[in-house]
Amino acid sequence: MADSPLTHFHQDGSARMVNVSQKPITLRTARAEGRVIMRPETLELIRNQSISKGDVLAVARLAGIMGAKRTSELIPLCHSLGIDSVELQFEVLEPDQVRIESVVQVQARTGVEMEALTSVSVAALTIYDMCKSVDREIRISDIQLLEKSGGKQDYARHQE
């Protein structure tokens, strides 16, 4: 069987964790974003901290940090990393959205793209969970990697 271009598979097709032991330790950074779309009335409740479960964005920030730190427990074959930094920002986009951005950094042999994406995802799910009693139509959308640096190749998404 020929070598697979997919890094997480052996030649026989069985799954494997990539061996990163020979890679140099460098500063790895990843930035990801996502959006939570809701009724304008729900966004107003979030802005006024009037959701009965509490301060939605404060709880979502903590959840996003926890999500980044626990990514390897959720994503098969993802390396366990001692995350150095997770920063989450929330931007209210009138009339009906919250934009979430996460920046994750680590000094390691492998990148933190999955940690940044998981951070955004968990923060978005937390917003949904805290607001679902007032708005079941909430949508989570456009979770994507914006950029990453460190390692062999840097990446930046082309902005449209």
Quick one: three-class SS letters along 104-116?
Answer: EEEEECCCCHHHH
Which pLDDT value is given to residue 2?
43
- Which among 40, 29, 28, 36 is positioned nearest to 143, based on CA atoms? 36
Q: Which are the catalytic amino acids?
A: 129
* Alpha helix ranges (H) inside the chain: 40-47, 56-69, 71-74, 113-131
Question: Amino acid identity, residue 15?
Answer: A
Contacts of 15 (CB under 8 A, 6+ apart): 8, 9, 76, 77
* Per-residue pLDDT tens digits of the chain, which is 160 residues long: 344 565 767 778 788 888 898 899 999 999 999 999 999 999 999 999 999 999 999 999 999 999 999 999 999 999 999 999 999 999 999 999 999 999 999 999 999 999 999 999 999 999 999 999 999 999 999 999 999 999 889 999 997 6
- Which among 156, 28, 147, 31 is positioned nearest to 88, based on CA atoms? 31
- Which among 119, 126, 102 is positioned nearest to 36, based on CA atoms? 126
d(CA 143, CA 124): 9
d(CA 9, CA 31): 27
Which pLDDT value is given to residue 159?
77
Record the pTM: 0.91
